[in-house]
Amino acid sequence: MSGGDKLDFEIRPNPAPVSAADRAALLANPGFGRVFTDHMVTVRYAEGKGWYDARVEARAPIPMDPAAAVLHYAQEIFEGLKAYRTGDGSVTMFRPEANAARFVASARRLAMPELPPETFVDSLRKLVEIDREWIPEHEDASLYLRPFMFASEVFLGVRPANEYLYCVIASPAGAYFAGGVKPVTVWVSPDYTRAAPGGTGAAKCGGNYAASLAAQAEAIEAGCDQVVFLDAVERRYVDELGGMNVFFVYDDGTLVTPPLGGTILPGITRDAVLTLAAEAGHEVREQPVSFADWQSDAASGRLREVFACGTAAVVTPIGGVKFPDGEFLIGGGEPGTVTMALRQKLVDIQRGRAEDRHGWVTSVL
């Protein structure tokens, strides 16, 4: 399949789907990432043949040879986005084209074949269409979509693989915050870094997350919810959290977020927040923020709010910061007004309750 060709999906309905009663019980409290729908998407790639054998089929284990290249050299990338039920009963996705573009960029960085964006978005539509009944109806719930691709060739040589498997699975997700949005506490890692210049920090690959787990475990041991990474060169400047981007809100209403520069994942929610904050009248800057300035500005009151943002938690207030030598609060540890206003605006757009001036919402059904 060449870049502009359309790939047709063969639909193979699951012969034994979950019953309506069992599905309703699962959807009552799905949590996150533990309940899965009846179907999955698979598309194969082979060097010289291109993309082929596109299917929507029953979700099932993936047969894998012990010598599959991904198990040895970690050629793997993924994405994450959500499908929502809106007030009028329709189903939408938020910025799937942006996820498709980032998937291409991640593939390019890991020397993998580039899935055409049209095929990426179409694969999401096909899965949502067949598993529509798995989308929770209650407020703040959604259907989390996980597209991913890995090197499936059976080969142990150190080179880009010649065969790949692209898949999409879906998982009903409840409210990220049980009982409402609450500020999180973060741990500033003194020893671990997430990514270095020239590395894979801007790619959404599994290796980045595997490398963050020791630091995340350190954060949990310190009584924190998330880890914050500093830059790998000077160990001075804030990069991002383990799975989210970060914003700083100052007393004059200015928002600052660290610049991308190849070491930070270009978050799709991050990009939306930049746009919405500017439209709300805030000055928005992408510039380095040192941990020393974070501390001093919080102490002086110049820094009023800090929040993280990402697909799962949308916009999350950060109330406390811990590090080996101490800890401090931001804004008294309470959610800030700017943070919550941006969160509400974004949620309202995603769920069709506010005007979508940027064409971010894609209708599925």
Catalytic positions, written as ranges: 204
* Helices and strands, counts by H and E, the chain: 8, 18
Pairing label, strands 81-85, 91-94: antiparallel
Q: Which of 340, 197, 199 is nearest to 259 (CA)?
A: 197
List all residues 6 or more positions away from 59 whose beta carbon is below 8 Å from its beta carbon: 14, 36, 37, 38, 39, 40, 169
Sign of CA dihedral 178, 183, 189, 190: negative
Q: Distance (Å, rounded) from C-alpha 165 to C-alpha 45?
A: 6
Q: How far is CA 168 from CA 126, 221, 233, 250, in A?
A: 10, 34, 36, 40
Nearest CA-CA partner of 249 in 303, 194, 296: 303
Q: How far is it, in rounded angstroms, from Cα 125 to Cα 329? A: 43
Give the pair of three-digit tokens for residue 39: 């179907």
Phi-psi region of 352 (alpha: psi -120 to 50; beta: other; left: phi over 0): left
Which H, E and C letters describe 39-105, residue by residue?
Answer: EEEEEEEECCCEEEEEEEEECCCCCCCCCECHHHHCCEEECCEEEEECCCCCEEEECHHHHHHHHHH
